Structure 1
């Protein structure tokens, strides 16, 4: 399985963003790390290994990108307005810089996005904000409401990064064409968040699969089971 380490300089972030890329060819899938995780986390926790057959067959190509959680949502040393500003810059980096580069590299009109736990939030927020960029959204054990990180602070930037707030008002036609999977399990403490988001999607008649497993918990073993199954939908 081809593996490549890459640093991508972001003008929006004024820093290098590290990533690991797996595969020689295939449909591009961005993978976001969990809370404060790094770009190598999906490899270390065998999420990449779970997808190896699809990667080696050239069906998918994984882009495991770094986060800036420590300087955004989890940056308790910053005022909440600075946290959400930095988060916005991260999503602009994805939208304006990284995703167009990935699309050109893979000759793909759109990308798939995925992530476990807080990585699932990143994937969902990007997909719902920019649905014209995303064909598939796969979340595993995710939560979607970021107001808990804002210490009571709320403005338009918070609103437009909080899917339970802005998604009910969104009417982008691409939402109805996206393949959406919300993966969770009965014992997952994030299950209610997935059920709530599923309810919002259902109210808008947006096709999706709320996959509630009867085994596992909020941890890597169940996510490793989910990941290749979801990727096979591409």
Structure 2
């Protein structure tokens, strides 16, 4: 399997790594679990479930660092400051990573975002904010309300626009029509260990689905069984089950 690691500098959040897997196919931007690194998908066996897609030239994966340790995972910072720093991460992805993908996969038909746990938040957040770039967002056990992540301090505009449960609820008019016409969100969650406590991934997915439904934004909620845990072996099965239909 073709593999290449690229380190990209950014003024806001430091140097981040991108690892590309594959030689051809639809680009898939992959976010790891909380505070994870670009190699986490490989190290946790996620590539095994979709090896046929990669080797068959149906997808090219671009796995990125999360940089959560500088943003959402730094509980010493008030939530608004974490959100402000997260904005720097968004700029890195949009300005630097997307440019890399566009030059490496010219003529593609839109980038699919995928993420597990907090990575699921990133995948859906980018798909809802920029569906022109990311028309498909796939979350595996994500939670979409950053204000609930050990939040403290006064929360303002930065937190609002980093919180899909807030800004999607506030969408209306032409902007909502624009999102409706482009976005396609898949929310996957299990009903087993750690999907409710402490991650709140199951209720988080259900709540996000309700908000998307209220706004008429195309989406799907796929709930797995009570044996499906908040862990890599289940995310591997879920990704292998769903990704082929988007590629």
Of stretches 92-101 and 22-31 in structure 1, the one that deviates more from structure 2 is 92-101
CA contact (8 A) 2:84 2:159 kept: no
Local SS of the residue matching 1:73:
coil
Q: What is the alpha-carbon distance in structure 2 between the residues aligned to residue 218 and residue 195 of structure 1?
A: 15
Q: What is the alpha-carbon distance in structure 1 between the residues aligned to residue 83 and residue 177 of structure 2?
A: 23
Q: What is the alpha-carbon distance in structure 2 between the residues aligned to residue 95 and residue 204 of structure 1?
A: 25
Shift of 1:203: 1.1
Q: Which runs of 5+ in 1 are unaligned?
A: none
Shift of 1:23: 0.2
Shift of 1:172: 4.8
Equivalent residue, structure 2, for 1:210:
221
Local SS of the residue matching 2:135:
strand
Shift of 1:10: 1.9
Equivalent residue, structure 2, for 1:102:
101
- What TM-score do you get using the length of structure 1 for normalisation? 0.94
Structure 1 pair 45–152 and aligned structure 2 pair: CA distance change class (3 A)? same
Q: What is the alpha-carbon distance in structure 2 between the residues aligned to residue 138 and residue 24 of structure 1?
A: 22
The alignment yields a C-alpha RMSD, in angstroms, of 1.5
Equivalent residue, structure 1, for 2:189:
184
Structure 1 pair 37–61 and aligned structure 2 pair: CA distance change class (3 A)? same
Shift of 1:6: 1.2
Alignment of 1:1-234 (within 5 A): 1-13=1-13, 15-107=14-106, 108-149=108-149, 150-170=151-171, 171-187=176-192, 188-189=195-196, 190-214=201-225, 215-234=227-246
Q: What is the alpha-carbon distance in structure 2 between the residues aligned to residue 76 and residue 144 of structure 1?
A: 17
Shift of 1:69: 0.8
Q: What is the alpha-carbon distance in structure 1 between the residues aligned to residue 99 and residue 245 of structure 2?
A: 23
CA contact (8 A) 1:131 1:175 kept: no
| C-alpha distance after superposition, 1:11-61 (max 9, x if no partner) | 343x22112110011111111011111111111111122111000011100
Shift of 1:205: 1.8
More strand by share: 1
Q: What is the alpha-carbon distance in structure 1 between the residues aligned to residue 27 and residue 10 of structure 2?
A: 19
Length, aligned pairs only: 233
